[in-house]
């Protein structure tokens, strides 16, 4: 943690320590919790309080804005004259009590001193079910998509009008839909007509403007690929090895070394969870492996869970993660406590990684972007975890992608970025270049970039 506030540093160290303890406690049986005098609810409350205290103190630390609340007018002044900043919000309709109806609203501002305007998207329930399934199936099956533009983008596009840059903070299903890959009525795609920049929160636009520029990070890169998922002679080997990712790491290593970067590579058995946790804020963290998400337990099965299993079931950050060496063995042993032994880096653990000086995290894997649509909290998942850990920009895949296309996209992006130093434009240009050879969005539309470089 790169702060000069000793109290803040002490709070951060205590937070990391308590989070690690909570992670271990969640692997215990009810009897073990009793024997060790551990109250999961109280421990979780302590962790959450520390998180809140640290975020409040560190967000504007050193900028003399400790007591300043960021308002929409601050965001307005931070964007260009032809730009627009959008906050997508998901909520349940309230009629004397909360109903099952889901509504989305896109609140947006321009640099025009006007108050925020709202675009209502009232059919949230079908957006999250029928229309999301249709969007996803259309891409995966390479079928024409006749509805996604009308459902997910047209209402917003009509509301905001023409904009040079669209900064969008997503919620709910908008975290799972890559707007760029949606076909438009003119036979093109949204990526051809709009420059959509995904941000974790629109306040980041203001924070980027007022924060002093950090010292340029050293040219260091740490890469992981093709972990050995099964270390035992397991009969059930449902997780396939990813030899293509090993090739991806090797080619990326060669490219970076040619440009004068210092690289560390971990593949097969060396691609372990312990090794990831030793990260010391490399400028690039590239990890190519399987991501996974465990659906919530059905309500009628909740009574069969132990206290710690029920706690895990309630926290989406403990149900999504990346598979590393031995990860297949862990999945064969448990559906809940992924921390019983090494092999799976959960999103909860990823939040504690040291990525303060990391410009870019690339999750080049299968379905790393999957999360849970959850009211008011957006999508918990690896996206949020790595940004909370300090990464400025995150590139991740939302569904299974062809190996050859993935490697071509990733390597083309790196080549362009290392040459131009423009991360966002390099990513867009790499996608457009890939489309010449692979025109279907299944090949180029799975990858999303979140954050501000």
Q: Is the pLDDT of residue 147 over 80?
A: yes
Region of poorest pLDDT, from 34-38, 163-167, 245-249, 331-335: 34-38
Beta bridge partners of 284: 221, 360
Comparing CA positions, the residue from 84, 101, 93 lying closest to residue 166 is: 84
Class of domain 213-451: alpha beta
Q: Strand, coil or helix: what is 416?
A: helix
- For residue 278, count other CB atoms closer than 10 A to its CB: 12
- Identify the pLDDT of residue 159: 96
As a whole number, mean pLDDT of residues 61-78 equals 69
The answer to whether the CB of 342 falls within 8 A of the CB of 361 is no
Return d(Cα 17, Cα 23) in angstroms, integer: 10
Read off the pLDDT of each residue in 211-220 and give the average, rounded to a whole number.
70
Mean pLDDT of 86-113: 86
Number of Cβ within 10 Å of residue 151's Cβ equals: 20
pLDDT at position 16 is 77
Asked if residue 87 lies in contact with residue 29, where contact means CB atoms within 8 angstroms, the answer is no
In the 8-state DSSP scheme, what is residue 174?
G
pLDDT (average), residues 26-43 = 73
Picking from 106, 104, 60, the residue whose alpha carbon sits closest to that of residue 84 is: 106
For the entire predicted model, the pTM comes to: 0.83
Q: Quick one: the chain helix, strand, coil %, rounded to 5?
A: 45, 20, 35
Hey, what are 84's tokens? 């627009």
- Mean pLDDT to the nearest integer, 13-28: 74
* pLDDT interval class at 81 (50, 70, 90): very high
Q: Convert 132-157 into a string of H (helix), E (strand) and C (coil).
A: HHHHHHHHHCCCCCCCHHHHHHHHHH
pLDDT of the residue at 256: 96
Name the DSSP letter for residue 131. Answer: I
Which of 175, 163, 172 lies closest to 199, judged by CA? 175
Residue 413 predicted with pLDDT over 60: yes
Q: Which residues of 366-404 are buried (b: 16+ CB within 10 A; e: fewer)?
A: bbbbbbbbeeeebbbbbbbbbbbbbbbbbbbbbbebeee
The percent of residues above 90 in pLDDT, for the chain, comes to: 55
- Tell me the pLDDT band of 117, cut-offs 50, 70 and 90: very high
Average pLDDT over residues 170-184: 93
Element spanning 325, H or E: none
**Domain spans, the chain:** 6-58, 72-209, 213-451
Residue 370 pLDDT > 70: no
**Is residue 165 within 8 Å of residue 83, measured between CB atoms?**
yes
Task: Give the position of tokens 């180029």.
Answer: 444
- d(CA 283, CA 220) in angstroms, rounded, equals 5
Interval 255-299: pLDDT, tens: 999 999 999 999 999 999 999 999 999 999 999 998 877 766 555
């Amino acid at each position: 943690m790169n702060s000069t506030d000793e109290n803040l540093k002490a709070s951060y160290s205590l937070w990391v320590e308590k989070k690690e303890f909570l992670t271990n406690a969640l692997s215990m049986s009810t009897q073990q919790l009793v024997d060790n005098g551990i109250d999961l609810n109280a421990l979780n409350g302590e962790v959450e309080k520390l998180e809140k205290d640290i975020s409040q103190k560190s967000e504007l630390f050193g900028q003399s804005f400790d007591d300043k609340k960021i308002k929409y007018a601050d965001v307005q002044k931070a964007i260009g004259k032809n730009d627009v900043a959008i906050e997508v919000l998901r909520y349940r309709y309230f009629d004397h009590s909360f109903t099952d109806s889901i509504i989305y609203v896109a609140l947006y501002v321009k640099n025009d001193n006007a108050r925020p305007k709202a675009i209502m998207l009232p059919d949230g329930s079908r957006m999250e079910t029928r229309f999301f399934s249709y969007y996803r199936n259309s891409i995966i099956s390479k079928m024409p998509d006749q509805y996604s533009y009308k459902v997910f983008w047209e209402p917003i596009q009509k509301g905001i009008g023409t904009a040079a840059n669209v900064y969008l903070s997503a919620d709910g299903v908008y975290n799972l839909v890559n707007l760029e890959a949606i076909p438009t009525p003119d036979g093109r795609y949204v990526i051809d007509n709009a420059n959509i920049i995904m941000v974790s929160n629109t306040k980041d636009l203001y924070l980027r403007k007022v924060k002093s520029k950090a010292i340029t990070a050293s040219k260091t890169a740490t890469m992981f690929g093709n972990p050995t998922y099964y270390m035992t002679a397991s009969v059930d080997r449902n997780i396939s090895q990813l030899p293509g990712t090993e090739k991806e790491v090797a080619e990326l290593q060669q490219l970076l070394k040619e440009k004068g970067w210092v690289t560390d590579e971990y593949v097969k058995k060396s691609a372990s969870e312990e090794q990831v946790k030793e990260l010391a804020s490399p400028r690039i963290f590239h990890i190519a492996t399987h991501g996974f998400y465990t659906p919530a337990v059905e309500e009628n099965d909740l009574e069969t869970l132990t206290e710690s299993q029920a706690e895990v079931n309630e926290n989406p950050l403990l149900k999504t993660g990346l598979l590393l060496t031995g990860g297949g063995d862990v999945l064969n042993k448990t559906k809940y406590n992924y921390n019983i032994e090494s092999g799976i880096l959960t999103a909860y653990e990823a939040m504690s990684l040291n990525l303060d000086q990391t410009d870019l995290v690339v999750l080049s894997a299968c379905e790393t972007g999957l999360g849970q649509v959850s009211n008011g909290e957006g999508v918990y998942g690896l996206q949020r975890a790595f940004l909370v850990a300090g990464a400025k920009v995150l590139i991740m895949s939302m569904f299974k992608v062809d190996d050859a296309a993935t490697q071509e996209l990733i390597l083309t992006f790196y080549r362009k970025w290392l040459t131009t130093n423009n991360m966002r434009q390099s990513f867009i240009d790499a996608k457009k270049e890939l489309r010449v050879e692979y025109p279907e969005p299944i090949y180029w539309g799975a990858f999303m970039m979140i954050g501000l470089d």
